[in-house]
Amino acid sequence: MSWLVLVVSGVLEAVWATALGRSEGLSRLGPSVLFFTALTASMGGLAYAMRELPVGTSYAVWVGIGAVLTVVYAMTTGQESISAAKVLFLTLIIGGVVGLKAVH
């Protein structure tokens, strides 16, 4: 269960990071509310997962999922360019996250 909560928390990290960018310095209400809601849920899930999983592994997986999804979202919406190098490095991050789960 902790791994599932950790993955969902990583997804929520991408949500709050994207909402923060769209809030224009927390000056737009909708994205700001989404930012704080997703941030609270994401941190709560991370804290829950850390009750059973090591801190280092939990944090690395959480950040990895959030970072990859944030970049992929930005690429799909045209906010960030797509290149073979970016895809390669995102794949390496995913491999690292999977590797941490495998060795746990």
Could you report how far apart the first and last alpha carbons of the chain are, in Å?
14
Among 55, 58, 9, residue whose Cα is nearest residue 17: 9
Domains: count for the chain? 1
d(CA 69, CA 42): 14
Range of the domain at 99: 2-103
Mean pLDDT of 44-71: 97
Q: The whole model's pTM is what?
A: 0.92
In this structure, the number of other CB atoms found within 10 A of the CB of residue 29 comes to: 9
Long-range pairs, 58-62, Cβ under 8 A, ≥24: 58/6, 60/96, 60/97, 60/100, 61/6, 61/7, 61/10, 61/97, 61/100, 61/101, 62/6, 62/9, 62/10, 62/13
Give the model confidence (pLDDT) of 20-32 as tens digits.
Answer: 999 999 999 999 9
Task: Write down the pLDDT at residue 23.
Answer: 97
d(CA 66, CA 5): 13
Task: Write down the pLDDT at residue 104.
Answer: 81
Task: Write down the pLDDT at residue 70.
Answer: 98
